[in-house]
Amino acid sequence: MKFSDYFNLNRNQPYLDFIDIPLDTDLPVFLEPGAIKSLVSPWGNELSSLLQTFFDTVLRLIHSGDHAKAQQLLSSLNERNEFHLGYSSGESRGHGFGSGSAETVWGALSKSNATVTGLLKDLEDTALLIPGIGTDMISDAVCNIIRGPLIKYTQDMCVYYGVPLTPDIASGPIWNPEEERWVESLIPLPMTDYGKVILVPKVLVRHRLTYQYDEYYRHYILPEMQHEHLQARSPLVEVLKDGRERVTKKALIEKYGNDKLAVVEQTKIRPNILQEYKDQKMVSPSKPLTQEQLCEIEASDLPDLDPLVEELKCLATGRDMAGRYEDIIEKILSVIFYPSLCNPKKQHNIHEGRKRIDITYTNEAKSGFFYWLSMHYPCPLIFVECKNYGKEAGNPEIDQLAGRFSPSRGQVGLLICRKIENKKLMYQRCIDTATDRRGYMLALDDEDIIALVDSYKDNAEDQKFKMLRELWAQLID
């Protein structure tokens, strides 16, 4: 029983912004700290700050000798079943840092040379440097530390998809960075026969952690050690028949070991290598799981946009069908633009509710058209206005969308309507708006939406947003 089935959402994973979790077990995907730190939105900054302040607080308490407080903080990272992420094959049971005994985790942290020498700085460093801590534990710890924002995300998604919220549900411990303590309260959450649920954005999950100690040791530490032994002409140097000299990784592993204790000992001597590894991971963060990967994990069908296209073609124009038109457009765009655009909001209120935006997406693109836009224009949010008119959209609609823009929210949007009879005139109106520095908008009609769907089905990355790039070129020529 998946979340979407339980609440009769009539959507499968490709059409949902969150991971469509099974309610009676776990899904083998994980919240990845590197994925969170790669977010460029204010929400991403909030998540990163929570992770860093919690871990900084625990390490500071250990360094200062306040071990009881450190253990108390770690104990709240105990087993939680409401996220449903991890390796559990049966009933969800969690594997957070607090699993079993906070004292055990505290002991590993407090006695590790990595902690004592200052090598350990980030939560994900523990995957490299602390024995017994791996993907499942770190993912569960992350879920707990960012519980507060995930609860707000869950509430937003429930409102968006029409899922009922049950009032006065225990929140579980929420990290308060200002007071450096856990707090709890009664809040509205979705409740099922299996218990409460906290949803996780699919753009944040991965098959495994970015930091892998064996990768770090084999591809970063050992090559440096090979070079050092060759330079020093150590006894591990072998001379080949052709006169070349080498030091094998196998020989180094036999002498120094290859577990996390060996990783720590060799990193202490070469701390710059650890920083090099972390910098490389920061520059090249792991990519979100594709629609195909998510569907495979979920045993869900791949997105089929043809029925939506047929419904779009048959939909009547006019106010009565405006909501349905907006739903169809949102479903299509959410599939086509994933993972660049995420966290959709319908009828998003701005200016204290005096103005509303049909659909607002957060721009978290790391490549492609929307990433390029983010590098050159203010567009943390992408605004979409849907007009189910039987008449030509014109200046009032252009002005309406332009009125949604601001330097902080963003200045890029899509105006989507049923039919643009005079495209040359419409594009000129968009160009005039850009020239007047009132924002940048791309006008699309049903025909253009269908062309986007066709490009998406062709699965050619360079062609997927060709139309959008061409329209944008007209705006800025």
Residue 19 belongs to a domain: yes
Q: How does pLDDT run across 355-374, given as a tens digit for each residue? A: 456 899 999 999 899 999 99
Check whether residue 417 and residue 314 sit in a common domain.
yes
Residues 91 and 168 in one domain: yes
Q: Is the pLDDT of residue 225 over 70?
A: yes
- Asked if 290 and 340 touch (Cβ cutoff 8 Å), the reply is no
Domain contains 301: no
Q: Is 294 domain-assigned?
A: no
% of the chain surpassing 70 pLDDT: 93
Per the model's pLDDT, the better-predicted residue between 372 and 461 turns out to be 372
* Residue 47: strand, helix, or coil: helix
Task: Give 257's pLDDT tier (boundaries 50, 70, 90).
Answer: very high
Q: What is the pLDDT of residue 95?
A: 55
CB-based contacts of 19: which residues, under 8 Å, 6+ apart?
A: 13, 27, 29, 85, 199, 200, 201, 202, 205, 294
Name 387's bridge partners.
417
Q: Which two tokens stand for residue 177?
A: 């960075």
190 and 221 co-located in one domain: no
User: Residue 352 has what pLDDT?
Assistant: 45
- In the chain, the amino acid numbered 257 is G
Domain assignment present for residue 295? The answer is no
From CA 46, how far away is CA 35, in angstroms rounded?
13
Asked, for residue 175, whether it belongs to a domain, the answer is: yes
Average pLDDT rounded to a whole number, residues 132-149: 89
Q: Which amino acid is at 477?
A: D
Residue pLDDT, tens place only, 287-305: 999 999 999 999 888 999 9
Residues 30 and 54 in one domain: yes
Tokens read off for 154: 């869950």
Question: Which among 154, 188, 206 is the end of a domain?
Answer: 206
Question: Final residue of a domain: which of 236, 268, 283?
Answer: 283
> Is there a single domain that holds both residue 108 and residue 25?
yes
Domain co-membership, 154 together with 57: yes
List phi, psi (to 5°) of 436.
Answer: -80, 5
Residue where one domain finishes, among candidates 206, 239, 254: 206
| Assigned domain for 291 exists | no
Quick check: 99 pLDDT over 60?
no
Strand partners, 195: 192
Residue 81 is predicted with a pLDDT of: 80
**What's the domain count of the chain?**
3
Q: Tell whether 278 and 328 lie within a shared domain.
A: no
Q: Residue 349 has what pLDDT?
A: 45
Do 315 and 279 belong to one domain? Answer: no
Q: What residues form DSSP beta bridges with 144?
A: none
CATH number (domain holding residue 396): 3.40.91.30
322 and 463 assigned to the same domain? yes
Task: Give the domain range for residue 339.
Answer: 306-476
pLDDT of residue 351: 38
- Whether 5 has a pLDDT exceeding 90, the answer reads yes
Which of 313, 311, 319 has its CA nearest to residue 446? 313
Same domain, residue pair 199 and 232: no
Q: Taking the mean position of all CA atoms in its chain, how far away is CA 217?
A: 27
Would you say residue 297 lies in a domain?
Answer: no
Is residue 58 domain-shared with residue 175, that is, in the same domain?
yes
User: Can you give the pLDDT at residue 353?
Assistant: 42
CA angle 57, 58, 59 (to 5 degrees): 95
31 token code pair: 């919240």
Instruction: Specify the pLDDT at position 350.
Output: 40
Q: 285 pLDDT band (50/70/90 cuts)?
A: confident
Residue 379 in any domain: the answer is yes
Are 60 and 85 part of one and the same domain? yes
